Structure 1
Amino acid sequence: MYRLLFDLVLRRLDPETAHHLGMAVIRVAAVPPFSAVARALTRPAPELRTEALGLVFDSPFGIAAGFDKNAVGALGLHALGFGHIEVGTVTAIPQDGNPRPRLFRLPADRALINRMGFNNDGAEAVAARLARMRRRKRRPVLGANIGKSRVVDVEDATADYVASTRLVAPVADYLVVNVSSPNTPGLRGLQAVETLRPLLAAVKDAAGDTPLLVKIAPDLTDDEIDGISAMAVDAGLSGIVATNTTIARTGLTTDAARVDAMGAGGLSGAPLRERSLEVLRRVRAAVPDGFCVIAAGGVETAADVRERLAAGADIVQGYSAFVYRGPLWARQINRGLTR
């Protein structure tokens, strides 16, 4: 049914417009009586409960940052069966992001390219929404992903991240520092250990008791992955998210000229599967037991989730496949995990 809707209607819409329409439907799923019906159809089985970061997740599978940038659809996503929702990326200063078009579908590759540029309402507005959700008796685990404001120079990034942390950390179940998006100038340079170490130390101090993780790119070398992993453990972080989108364009089925016309941006979806799995395994081998590793990138099926868990992930995230699988995607994954 959803596949027919996608082929006949959604595929003809601008991807960002289609996302906003989909988010409107998702928000309805959080409103009674629709929420009760949705939850009855999609509630994960009790045996899928997972513990990580000192938290209990309804399912090991959740939605990655980037889907619900402004914490407006988290309750609806929970009603659809996701075990956690990572909101954001959020910046200290509200920003519109990059000019449109900035989101592109590659259906033949079951992938997306985005250069959204951290468009969001700002940390203060998102923190207020998270605070309201935390007061609810039934809610998902709520992670928050923070990034650098575009107008802030890279040299001043630490203070900018700390400003977001002070607003968001008290109302988030865990916090992720995003230094790996390819869509904010200079951001990926912050992944260098000598730059990242003092940034994370300052953010950790501001985050207090909220578990802190860092999200890394799949385009790092093995030595860089090892270095960040060792530094994250040494700095007392709670975990690593592996991985963000890639700037690579290798192995795509979509016509190269069409891909080139889409321009710069991060590639996500099925083509990222193998590399993100490699990075996951490398991170897991470099960190001790009890250090949380969240797997993301190229996750589409229950088999993908099982593979990530077997490779050492504590919890798993997806995003791009939602576009191609539709609103019952989490239900499909959760049911597949119980077979």
Structure 2
Amino acid sequence: MSLAYRLYPLIRPILFSMDPERAHERTLEGLNRLHQWGLLKKVLDAKPSAPVRLLGLQLPNPVGLAAGLDKNGAYIDALGHMGFGFIEVGTVTPKAQPGNPKPRMFRLPEANALINRLGFNNKGLDAFLANVAGSEWKKRGGILGLNIGKNAATPIEQAANDYLLGLAAVYPHADYVTVNISSPNTQNLRALQQVDELTGLLTALRDKRKELADKHGRAVPVVVKIAPDLDANQIATIAGLLPQYEIDGVIATNTTLSRKGVNGISHAKEKGGLSGMPVHEASLKVIRGLRRDLSPEYPIIGVGGIMEGAQAAEKIQAGANAIQLYTGLIYRGPVLVDECVRAITQISPTSTNA
């Protein structure tokens, strides 16, 4: 077991004594410093292997990092030491924006959960792409997903313009692109999951992707990230539209507006998206619905509430081909990555191929 696995339970109380957003920043800064000094590979030597194909890409294992932890793509190489089979960074918007006023992140440790209302805070496409271009992860063969969104100031009727700008900018640098239409912290963003709005957006993305594929000589997979707060009819509608408009996969799910499982806990009434343990069952429900309504080979990435390896395996058994982690890392640390890989390999390995 690496030194980092043993140290994190000792470090966590210190981090949890700090403001959540500041602790997040300090952790990433610390990891990056250790990476720059060449020390991170000595304390964090995780390289779990369980090769799978996803979106036509060869992954060393099916456990990825979810978008949101590294919004500006500034820490890709440091995070690459944690053993992920793939890393997704962003969400990036065309223009830099500060996000919502602070405080905007809250821990609910009794429920192994977080609430955030960050609001796509990021430094914009230019800074994001400079960070991505300067990283070594992809150059060394690491799989990198780039997650795009719309600016808060862009009217929802013009949202497609922001996504097309984002797609064109990140396309040459990405192994896959995620279209985030499910954050609850940008006003009206989730309206893009409604059939008329989604059809218009997917049409525009399909046409732009064809243009970009011709220009760059390669077809970069595009996936859509959806919310856990969808009913069966909405799930079926989305499942019907995604392959129809040549979207290559789906990420299920983002954070939830529900407060099921956290009522009465301190900070539970804060506005924003809830992540962590309480989202696991809602995410499973969406994954099962998608798998029921999609073809058996259509790629699904499961995310939401994975706090232990058994829950990663549940995502795969529900129909996901790979999983992503975020909040679980904050509560469990880097040991969770290896634990999830091991749990997934104990079930049918063919279930992760897509």
What TM-score do the two structures reach when normalised by structure 1?
0.93
In structure 2, what is the equivalent of residue 96 of structure 1?
98
Match for 1:156 among 152, 158, 162?
A: 158
Q: Distance in 1 between matches of 2:89 and 2:139?
A: 19
Partners in 2 of 1:319 and 1:296 — Cα distance? 8
- Which amino acid letter does the alignment assign opposite residue 19 of structure 2? D
Q: Is the 8 A contact 2:62 2:85 kept in 1?
A: yes
- Are the counterparts in 1 of residues 59 and 86 from structure 2 also a CA contact under 8 Å? yes
The percentage of counterpart residues that share the same residue type is 40
Query: RMSD of aligned C-alpha atoms?
Result: 1.8
- State the one-letter code of the partner of 2:171: A
Residues 111, 261 of structure 2: 8 Å contact kept: no
| Per-residue deviation, 1:71 | 0.6
TM-score, with length taken from structure 2: 0.89
1:318 Cα deviation after fit? 1.1
Query: Once the 2 structures are TM-superposed, how far is the Cα of residue 132 of structure 1 from its aligned partner?
Result: 3.2
- Structure 2: which 5+ runs fail to align? 1-6, 214-218, 347-354
Find the aligned partners of 2:232 and 2:344 in 1 and give their Cα distance: 31
Q: Which residue of 2 aligns with 1:236?
A: 246
- Deviation track 1:119-172 (CA, whole Å, cap 9, x = no partner) reads 011122212322333686424211011111011111111111111111012211
**Counterpart for residue 184 of structure 1:** 186
1: distance between equivalents of 2:294 and 2:320? 12
Cα distance between partner residues in 1 of 2:33 and 2:141 = 15
Match of 2:256 among 232, 238, 246: 246
| 8 A Cα contact 1:58 1:83, kept in partner | yes
Which of 315, 319, 324 is equivalent to 2:326?
A: 319
Residue correspondence of structure 1 range 128-167 to structure 2 within 5 A: 128-133=130-135, 137-167=139-169
The corresponding residue for 1:37 is: 42
Counterparts of 2:8 and 2:140, CA distance in 1 = 28
State the alpha-carbon separation in 2 of the partners of residues 135 and 225 from structure 1: 34
223-232 vs 296-305, which deviates more?
296-305
In 1, the alpha carbon distance for the partners of 2:255 and 2:313 equals: 21
Instruction: For 1:107 and 1:192, locate their aligned partners in 2 and report how far apart those are by CA, in whole Å.
Output: 34
Partner of 1:18: 23
Which residues in structure 2 correspond to 1:185-200 (within 5 Å)?
185-200=187-202
Q: Which runs of 5+ in 1 are unaligned?
A: none
Q: In structure 2, what is the equivalent of residue 329 of structure 1?
A: 336
Q: Report Cα offsets for 1:290-328 as digits up to 9, x if no partner.
A: 321110111122211112112221110110011111233
Letter in 2 for 1:319: Y
Q: Which amino acid aligns with 2:224?
A: V
CA deviation profile, 1:186-214 (whole Å, cap 9, x unmatched): 10111111111121221233233211111
Displacement of 1:114 in angstroms is: 0.3
Contact 2:228 2:283 (C-alpha < 8 Å) held by counterparts? yes
Distance, in Å, in 2 between the alignment partners of 1:152 and 1:258 is 30
CA gap of 1:336–1:229, structure 2 versus 1, over 3 A, is closer
- Comparing 201-210 and 80-89, the one that deviates more: 201-210
Q: Deviations over 1:80-127 (max 9, x none)?
A: 111111111110111110010000000000000000000011122212
Whether the 8 Å contact between 2:313 and 2:343 is mirrored in structure 1 is no
Aligned to 1:5: 11
**Native 8 Å contact 1:66 1:88 kept in 2:** yes
Distance 2:223 2:238 in 1: 11
Report the CA distance between 1:10 and its aligned residue. Answer: 1.2
> Counterparts in 2 of 1:161-310, with a 5 A limit?
161-207=163-209, 208=213, 209-252=219-262, 255-256=264-265, 258-260=267-269, 263-310=270-317
In structure 1, what is the Cα distance between the partners aligned to 2:178 and 2:267? 33
User: 1:122 corresponds to which residue?
Assistant: 124
1:31 shift after superposition: 3.3
Task: Give aligned pairs, total.
Answer: 332
Call closer, same or farther: CA 1:223–1:338 in 2, change over 3 Å: closer
Counterpart residue number, 1:105 = 107
Q: Shift in Å at residue 37 of structure 1?
A: 2.5
- Relative to structure 2, which stretch is displaced further, 190-199 or 30-39? 30-39
